[in-house]
Amino acid sequence: MIGGSLDAFIGSVHRMAAALDGTIELVCGAFSSNAARSIQTGEALHLPKERIYASYEEMIVQEAQLPADVRMQFVSIVTPNHLHAQPALLALKHGFHVLCEKPLAFSVAEAEQLGIQVKETGLLFGLTHTYTAYPMVKEARDLIAKGKLGTIRKIIVEYPQGWLSAPIESDGQKQAGWRTDPAQAGLSCCVGDIGTHAENIAEYITGLKITELSADVSSVVAGRKLDDDANILLRFDNGAKGVLIASQIANGEENELKIRVYGEHAGLEWLQSEPNTLIVKQNDQPTQLRRAGANHSYLSEHARLHCRIPAGHPEGYIEAMANIYRNFSKAVHSFEDQITHNPLLDYPTIEDGIRGMKFIETVIISGKENATWKQL
């Protein structure tokens, strides 16, 4: 693991997600650019001293020299945005598969460079767009792919949060600090941190691509250096239209990622904070609530493969991220064993990552030009 020292939020979530299914073991780490903190973290995690590294460079180089059955099998990168690409490139260069936090990189250029490297090495690259790993998101994708909704006409995707309603980055709140700092976060705070999840889930569920967008982007809180709110008009490659709303100043909202898709024949709705229910609506038909559960035979195989326990025992965010870790590690095993990986055990890829970076950049440019339409 690169990044994720004890005081980081997302690092411990990754570790829980990786541990959940009992098939992945944390074997080494460079948990901080501060060597002492890296060591302190590694010790707290009961790692042997020789596998706690002072820097990611050291870790990658030294692990690569270990015997194949000892060295790490893939790298997980959980650093802030500006520290995604360099470690990923180095890991790939030394033959390691990479699982990386989103957004993929600091800029489109970095992202594309990574894309080339992945292609050239032929190694696996995964991205933790966690929300698409929920079982009922798989179910939604499956229903649309099977034509249950007919031609898709309209997509409303929103991601309201309220936690940045006040300038808490000035008070030393660490999560807010790096996300609102252009040097660490890149072009964007809100669009990069959460808007890109909304973009990713909209394209994932529908199988469509955004072709054009018009974005009204704001820094609502005085003195904030990056955006904290965006309202975006979308157009998709099949002619469907949509809206994407992302906000970190929606006071009182926790993490309400929600998507609604309307087709010629039916509509569907999914809300991340109640992730085990998928609502399917149809004119003049009773509304259906489809529910996650390993025992629900009416669900698609795709959905069931991402449930661990019977319906009514809620699975949550950590389980969703664990689905990515499980799928990616299975893909690594398939790669090593040179067997075909089950395509239903999918995970976000380098292409999702590059697309996400282009989306962020396009939104920010449209925003600066007063919401002019821009091609994506």
The footprint of a second copy on residues 24-43 (CB under 8 A) is 26
Residue 351 engages a second copy in binding (rule: CB under 8 A) = no
Which range, of 73-81, 189-197, 295-303, 355-363, touches a second copy by CB under 8 A?
295-303
**Interface pick for a second copy out of 162, 177, 330, 365 (rule CB under 8 A):** 162
Dihedral (CA of 222, 223, 228, 234) sign: positive
Instruction: Name residue, tokens 């229903």.
Output: 143
Query: How far is Cα 229 from Cα 221, in angstroms, rounded to an integer?
Result: 10
Query: How far is Cα 196 from Cα 355, in angstroms, rounded to an integer?
Result: 9
Nearest Cα residue to 131 out of 16, 246, 242, 272 = 272
Among positions 199-258, residues that touch a second copy (CB under 8 A) are 214, 216, 218, 220, 229, 231, 233, 235, 241-243, 245, 247, 249-256
Residue 170 engages a second copy in binding (rule: CB under 8 A) = no
Q: Which two tokens stand for residue 138?
A: 């798989």
Residue 180 engages a second copy in binding (rule: CB under 8 A) = no
Residue 149 engages a second copy in binding (rule: CB under 8 A) = yes
Count CB neighbours of 287 within 10 A: 10
Residue 291 engages a second copy in binding (rule: CB under 8 A) = yes
Least distance between a second copy and beta carbon 158 (Å): 8
**Interface pick for a second copy out of 9, 70, 170, 342 (rule CB under 8 A):** 9
Least distance between a second copy and beta carbon 40 (Å): 15
Choose between 186 and 242: whose C-beta lies nearer to a second copy. 242
Nearest Cα residue to 140 out of 206, 76, 237, 63 = 206
Choose between 88 and 127: whose C-beta lies nearer to a second copy. 127
Choose between 193 and 315: whose C-beta lies nearer to a second copy. 315
Which range, of 57-65, 97-105, 158-166, 333-341, touches a second copy by CB under 8 A?
158-166
Query: How far is Cα 306 from Cα 322, in angstroms, rounded to an integer?
Result: 9
CA angle 320, 79, 22 (to 5 degrees): 40
Nearest Cα residue to 210 out of 155, 145, 278, 266 = 155
Quote the distance between the C-alpha of residue 66 and its chain's center: 31
Among positions 261-280, residues that touch a second copy (CB under 8 A) are 262-267, 272-276, 280
Among positions 47-106, residues that touch a second copy (CB under 8 A) are none
